[in-house]
Amino acid sequence: MIVALTASALVACTPLPDNKADGRVDEPLSVTTTPRIALPARPAELPLDGVDPCTVLSADQRMQLSLDNPPSAYVESSFGNAKACTIRSSISGNVVRLVLVTVEGIEVWLSENAQVEAAPTTVSGFPALTVRTPGIDDVCTVEVDVAAGQFLDVMFRDGGNKTQVKQDILCQGAQRAAEAAVAGLLQRG
């Protein structure tokens, strides 16, 4: 009896969609919430302060990733003027970007404001997220939680190939590049 009364009260309180002049009906917007992702603890701290992003990957690692052009350093303003490096492959046509973010932690990708699809993964035992932006399918990033309030952003994108690379393949490339980058950071340790 109480269940029936509660259900009828909910139905009575639910606003009905308005009919438009042309006969269409606008449906109420559905409410979507981002599920809370719990990341495991880091196995160690790999602070990024003072690291040159263009030296994170060794020449051998770059060749294993088919990154045959010289690294190019710059500052990424969207991550608080973080040090960044891009490396292009004339072999595959793809591009890798490494950004050493020291002004905020990986949690920024779990915020509802991020407007991305974040899936948990690990990189060499470190908690990480594979991040895809809805509507943008020529790029994939892996965000690695390397230290408190810091993360390594590894983007892998299609650099303008004749045949567009599928995003799942780009995500695999981002994962491989992230593994190599964390290995490079661990060797510094």
Q: pTM for the whole thing?
A: 0.79
- For residue 60, what are the domain limits? 53-188
Give the span between the Cα atoms of 80 and 77, in whole angstroms: 5
> Would 30 be classed as within a structural domain?
no
Instruction: Say whether 133 sits in a helix, a strand or coil.
Output: strand
> Would 172 be classed as within a structural domain?
yes
> Would 9 be classed as within a structural domain?
no
Query: Could you read off the pLDDT of 35-82 as tens digits, one per residue?
Result: 567 889 999 999 999 999 999 999 999 999 999 999 999 999 999 999
CATH number, domain containing residue 77: 3.40.1000
Q: Could you give the number of structural domains in the chain?
A: 1
> Would 101 be classed as within a structural domain?
yes
Contacts for 63-66: CB closer than 8 Å, 24+ residues apart: 64/180, 65/89, 65/96, 65/173, 65/176, 65/177, 65/180, 66/91, 66/92, 66/94
> Would 100 be classed as within a structural domain?
yes
Q: Which of 9-18, 54-63, 70-79, 126-135 has the lowest mean pLDDT?
A: 9-18
> Would 1 be classed as within a structural domain?
no
